[in-house]
Structures are given as structure tokens and as C-alpha cells.
Amino acid sequence: MKKYQNFINGKWVDAKSGQVFENRNPANWDEVIGTFPKSAKEDVNEAVKAARTAFDKWRLVPAPKRGDILKNVGDIMGARKEEIARTMTREMGKVLVETRGDVQEGIDTAYYAASEGRRLFGHTVPSELPNKFNMAIRVPIGVAGVVTPWNFPMAIPTWKIFPALLCGNTVVFKPASDTPATATMLVEILMEAGVPEGVANIVHGGGSDVGMAIVEHPDVDVISFTGSTNVGIKISEVASKTLKRVSLELGGKNAQIVMDDADLSLALDGVLWGAFGTTGQRCTATSRLLLHEKAYDKFMSMLVDRTKKLRLGDGLLATTDVGPCIHEGQRKSVHSYVEIGQKEGAKLVAGGGAASGNGLSKGWFYQPTIFTDVTPEMRIAKEEIFGPVLSVIKIKSLEEGVSVLNNTIYGLSSSIYTKDINNAFRAIRDIKAGITYVNGPTIGAEAHMPFGGVKQTGNGHREGGWTVFEFFSEWKTVYVDYSGKLQRAQIDN
């Protein structure tokens, strides 16, 4: 069995306590991927010290040179893509085409960040005084704490770490304890690509031991977290004591509207992929279908039929459409929502229980599940389930669809299928979400576009795209007076 370690100040080390935890395959719980250090505050302290020291040199490396290293990172990830994808499927279960896509998102992010090294644009602005020059430039913040989930074990860490490094920050990375092997590969690649010692550090372990120690550490300047809304609120509270900058990407309760004028077979492919891709374990997953009454009967019969044909299994097999839930606790939580839905009076038309059968007996499989007769006030219509459960709500009009779509505390992703351009633009205007897809499912964000949500999905920041470089840098405003005399703004002009 492989024994993994933390990476601190350029060296692979055990947790100071010597304790370890196991990582198992959710499609076959007998298979242990490896053991990982069960770290604590003392390990975080070492990593932060290393990152703090390394920051003094790294911030002075020209941004285009930092970009060149990230270009190498993208190249190495490309060469190791298949190996990383297979490891990822083994440790978190999603099917191989999806884990390949996850790695590709990391590669895209590397090349995008590499090119940003030759931009990182600032502003030059005319001064109100003669012989004076005004500019605002971007400077690094310091040590970045990066805390990431298990559902996108490569893509999400890269969204955070690559822009943080490109901007000149150093990093202390705590990956989800369900996907530490993929995270370790990312750190190996960073080192091989030429990231200097101490600039990127990884500390494995639990959220309350390691994650919170990073968040509360006075020498960590900025935190980027993706995960549940409850943990996000806690992070926000703890980080406020040292007034850290914090970016939070939290829950979602995303909906796909299907209008009566939509291309129904396109909308069907969209909702199947959105609801059951990654076993529904995405913050962008489609967990509500808002279906126009005129398309209802036809669409529902196609949807139930296709859903029942989805093949569950080990994500490494080419015959598998849907992998397992991440662990026992998640499968239990999904099932408890199914029970809640039934008690609330919704009608189960597909799935509704743990899946058993050939090849499924040692994994956390759950049948793709659909509820109809869901009303907007039911808990299954409002709360994030994070599993393969779709709630269907009948709508009479676009206005009703948008209003039901907005009836949640979250606002990450959204989708509308319609051939009517007026419907599409009204939806774009009125939907309260960070992302809206027209004639596409709620999933499928591209690395070079802003990613994030409104309301309790986050705290207003965006990762991905050009916006993430704003998050990981400070503005410094510079005035250069070359008049040779005292010039007083607001007074001498």
C-alpha cells in the first residue's frame, strides 16, 4: 500500500504526530488507495512558515517567468492526463470521461494563467496636476490558503492555486481528505515544472484540524474555499478575526427550465447530463427541472425511460454511465432526502434507493432518482442534495419558471431550453444566478470565464476567467510627481 506524505518547504514529510488516514475507492471499499498524513495545527504552522519565507523571493520573480513555470505545469499535466484521470476515478468514483475532463480543466487553467503572466494589466490614469503620473498596479497579497472539495479534485485546486501563484503569492493547500492522491500528483507536477521550494505546500487531513488551522493562522493573508455553505459561513467567521480576504464558492440548487417550444431531445440530453453526471455531486448539478405543462407528458416519459437505462458501475469501465456516491455518509444523506420527498408528498417515478447487483455490492451506489409532483416549497425543491436526485416542477409560463427557479437561498448555475429568443433574453435578465446557460445544461463552465454565484452560493467573488486574478492580487496606487515642487491635490489645481 502506498504511503503518501505532506510536502512542506520542498520536502516530503509525515505528520508530526505520525498519524495517518486511509483513502478507499468508493466503487469498491476493499481497495485502499493509500495512507495519508493525518495532520494538525503544528504541521500547518510549518507549512505557513515555509510559504511566508518563500514569498519574499517568489514575489520578485517576474510574472512572465512565473507564467512560464505554469506553462510547464500544463505540459506535464497533459503528458500525465490518463494516469491522473485513472487515479481520480479510483479515489472518487466519477467515470473516466469526466475525470479526463477534470484534468483538462486544470490544463486549460494552467495555460490561461501562463498567458496572464504577460498581462496582469493595471491602469494608467491622467493626473489632475501637471507633471505628475498616476497608475494603479497589481501586487501579490502574500500566503494563500487553499481548501478544496473532492468532486473536482484537479480542476478546483488549479482554479485557485495557479492564479494565486501567477500573481506572486505562495500557497498552503489542504485538499479534501477523500481525494488526497490526485492532489499529491498536482503538487508533484508543480515541483517538476520548477516551482521553488516553499512556494507550494500541501498539508493533508481533516477540515476542522487542518483547514481551520489555515483559516485562523495570522500569517495567512487570503483564503479560497469551495465546499458547503455551512462550512463557508464558519470560515467567514473565523477569517474575520484577522480580516483576511476570503473567496467562498458554496452550495447550489440549480434548475433547468424547459419551455414548450424547446428542442425536447436536446433538453433531455441536457437534463440527464446535468442531473446525473458526476452522480449529481456537483455544485452546478441540475437538481430541479422546471417543465412547461404543454411539454410535460411527452418529456417526462422520455426522461424516465432514459434514466432507467443509465448504467451504474465502476467509473473505470467503459460501460458505466454513473459512478458511486463519494462515501457512506453521502449515500445516507441522499437517501434521507428521498425519504423527506416521499413524506412531503412528491411522487417517486425513478430510482429511490441504494443500487445493488453485479459489481455494485462493495460501492456506495445510489439509483438515479426522479420525483414529480414537487411543489416549490418542498425541502427537496429548495435544499442542496448533492446526489443523483432530480425534482420536477410543472410550470405554466416563463414568468412562473423564473420565479420558481429563483425561489432558493442559492444562485450558482441555471439553464433554459427554448427556441424563442425573447424567452432566452428575458431569462438571462431575470434569473438570479452567477451562470446562465441557454440551450445547454447547468454544468460545463469553461476555465477562462468567471465562475461563481449570487446569494448564499458565495460572497461575491468569482474564480476562473480574468476575475480570479483580481481576487489574488492587491491594487497599489502609485503617484509620481516629476514637477520638482510641492503640488497639493484638490488645492493647487
Instruction: Give burial (CB, 10 Å; 0-12/13-18/19+) of 418.
Output: buried
User: Cell numbers of 47, please?
Assistant: 507549512
List the x/- string, 432-471, binding to ligand UN1 by CB under 6 A. Answer: -----------xxx--------------------------
Size of site (CB under 6 A) for ligand UN1 = 10
Residue 10 is a binding residue for ligand UN1 (CB under 6 A): no
| CB neighbours of residue 488 within 10 Å | 8
Using CB under 6 A, pick the residue from 43, 46, 98, 105 that binds ligand UN1. 105
| 191 grid coordinates | 515541483
Q: Report the C-alpha gap between 323 and 332 in whole angstroms.
A: 16
Q: How far apart are CA 293 and CA 302, in angstroms?
A: 15
Give the x/- contact pattern for ligand UN1 in 390-429, rule: CB under 6 A: ----------------------------------------
Nearer to ligand UN1, 69 or 248 (CB): 248
The torsion angle over the Cα atoms of residues 388, 273, 251 and 323, rounded to 10 degrees, is: 50
Instruction: For the CB of residue 450, give the shortest distance to ligand UN1 in the complex, in Å.
Output: 12
Catalytic site residues?
249, 283
User: Within 10 A of 241 (CB to CB), how many other CB atoms are there?
Assistant: 10
**How crowded is residue 76: how many other Cβ atoms within 10 Å of its Cβ?**
18
Beta carbon nearer to ligand UN1, 117 or 157: 157
Place of cell 493647487: 492
Q: How far is the CB of 207 from ligand UN1 (least distance, A)?
A: 16
Q: Can you point out the beta strands (E) in 399-440?
A: 413-417, 435-438
Single out the segment in contact with ligand UN1 by CB under 6 A; choices: 3-11, 115-123, 150-158, 235-243: 150-158
Q: Which amino acid is at 419?
A: K
Give start and end residues of each alpha helix (H) in 217-350.
229-240, 264-276, 296-309, 328-344
Dist CA 457 CA 226 (whole Å): 10
Rg of the chain over Cα atoms, rounded to whole angstroms, equals 24
DSSP assigned state of 141: -
Q: Calculate the dihedral angle through the C-alpha atoms of 222, 223, 224, 225, rounding to the nearest 10 degrees.
A: -170
x-marked contacts with ligand UN1 along 49-88 as a string, rule CB under 6 A: ----------------------------------------
Q: Which is nearer to ligand UN1, 173 or 451 (CB)?
A: 451
Using a 10 angstrom Cβ sphere, with 0-12 exposed, 13-18 middle and 19 or more buried, the burial of residue 405 is buried
The smaller minimum CB distance to ligand UN1, of residues 92 and 346, is found at 92
Query: What is the DSSP-derived secondary structure letter of residue 209?
Result: I
Complex with ligand UN1: residue 117 or 464, whichever CB lies closer:
464
Q: Under DSSP, is residue 485 helix (H, G, I), strand (E, B) or coil?
A: coil
Does position 254 interact with ligand UN1 (CB under 6 A)? The reply is no
Q: How far is the CB of 56 from ligand UN1 (least distance, A)?
A: 34
Residue ranges with strand state E in 373-433: 389-395, 413-417
Tell me if 152 contacts ligand UN1 by CB under 6 A: yes
Q: Which residues pair with 138 in a beta bridge?
A: 475
Smallest separation (angstroms) from ligand UN1 to the CB of 254 = 9
Residue numbers 257-296 binding ligand UN1 by CB under 6 A: 282-284
Question: What one-character-per-residue DSSP string does 22-71 give?
Answer: EEEETTEEEEEEEEEE---HHHHHHHHHHHHHHHHHHTTS-HHHHHHHHH
Which of 151, 372 has the CB closer to ligand UN1?
A: 151
Report the residue number, 316 or 435, with the smaller CB distance to ligand UN1: 435
**Which residue's CB is nearer to ligand UN1, number 84 or number 295?**
84
Q: Does residue 151 belong to the site contacting ligand UN1 (CB under 6 A)?
A: yes
Closer to ligand UN1 by CB, 145 or 441: give it: 441
109 lies in the site for ligand UN1, by CB under 6 A: no
Length of the chain, in residues: 493
Spatial contact of 311 and 267, defined as CB atoms under 8 Å apart: no
- Dist. CA 86–CA 97, nearest whole Å: 10
**Binding positions for ligand UN1, rule: CB under 6 A:** 105, 151-152, 155, 282-284, 443-445
